[in-house]
Amino acid sequence: MIRSKCWKVKKMFDGIPKDDDLELVDEILPDPKDGEMLIEALYLSVDPYMRIVLTESHIGGTMIGEQISRLTAYFGFLEICKPKKGEVVVINGAAGAIGSLVGQIAKIKGCKVIGFAGDDEKCKWMKDLGFDFAYNYKKVILDDVLKKSAPDGIDCFFDNVGGDFSVTVLQHMNSLGRVSICGIISLYNTNKVHSRPNEQPKDLYPIPSTVMDSKQLIISTYDVNKKWSDEQWKEGEKQIAEWIREGKIRYRETITDGIENMYTAFQGLFVGSNIGKALVKC
């Protein structure tokens, strides 16, 4: 008899995830049958997308985790934004697992990088990674700092946040600028997003008509698991590993100890508790 712990859905999320929405329960697992194997989890990933995945579950269902790959940053930036040397790149949520990687790839490609995060420690980390500008969005007026740090406009915008922040950035984009919508975490807890972000960009946040009409922006959402081939995945993984070995890419992890604290780690994603990748040590 094998005992395990898992988080079950007690109440469907309504707005911000609350303490009593999930409950930790003991489960008895069946013995493996011929041809099956039992795998012990040493670490679990917690990611904002889990908030959306739960809407596809049911009361009593298991809270499903979802690993966000480094290739989310790699393809979402290089294949959608198609950066060129000397271009200006803006990233929000820039101290997270994806945003921090995008910023470093942008520097490898010779771009000027402007990152935004929610506290001063995260901004220091971004500067350590080589970002040209790192702003605590809670302490600045976004429109003003974009005029200062990108006086000639923005060419590429890697968006992890959505909402009013993104609308402001769009108004500073250059003609034919490229926008990669990776996430819209500012909307996840509003119940406006009920599935993976495959909606049209105009449904995710209001894009001023003057921007759309005059700047001919290329704005794309994407699902990294569906858009690129296995061969492209192998090439991307190889390239990222090479950059890590060469010291061109660094990363941080925020590790929470114990599966009983998984939900706390998950809730912390929505208030910016993590720097880099958020993991739970089982």
Q: Please state, in angstroms and rounded to a whole number, the distance separating the CA atoms of residues 255 and 4.
A: 21
**Helix, strand, or coil (residue 44):** strand
Residue 226's pLDDT is 80
Q: Please state, in angstroms and rounded to a whole number, the distance separating the CA atoms of residues 74 and 162.
A: 20
Residue 209's pLDDT is 67
**Helix, strand, or coil (residue 209):** helix
Contacts of 250 (CB under 8 A, 6+ apart): 104, 129, 244
Q: Please state, in angstroms and rounded to a whole number, the distance separating the CA atoms of residues 95 and 116.
A: 8
Written as tens digits, the pLDDT of the chain (282 aa) is 788 999 999 998 888 889 999 999 999 988 889 999 988 889 999 988 888 777 667 888 888 876 667 899 999 999 999 999 999 999 999 999 999 999 999 999 999 999 999 999 999 999 999 999 999 999 999 999 999 999 999 999 999 998 889 989 999 999 999 999 998 888 777 766 554 444 444 455 566 666 666 788 898 988 888 888 889 999 999 999 999 999 999 999 999 999 999 999 999 998 888 999 999 998
Q: Please state, in angstroms and rounded to a whole number, the distance separating the CA atoms of residues 181 and 178.
A: 10
Q: Which amino acid is at 217?
A: L
Residue 198's pLDDT is 47
Task: List residues bridging with 96 in a β-sheet.
Answer: 276
Under 8 Å between Cβ of 7 and 24: yes
| Range list of H helices, 91-154 | 97-108, 120-128, 142-149
Q: Which of 233, 271, 206, 249 is nearest to 98 (CA)?
A: 249
Domains of the chain: 2-66+252-281 (3.90.180.10), 69-244 (3.40.50.720)
Q: Which of 259, 173, 244, 170 is nearest to 206 (CA)?
A: 170
- What Å distances lie between residue 56 and 22, 24, 72, 162, 195, CA to CA? 15, 19, 22, 22, 8
Task: List residues bridging with 113 in a β-sheet.
Answer: 89
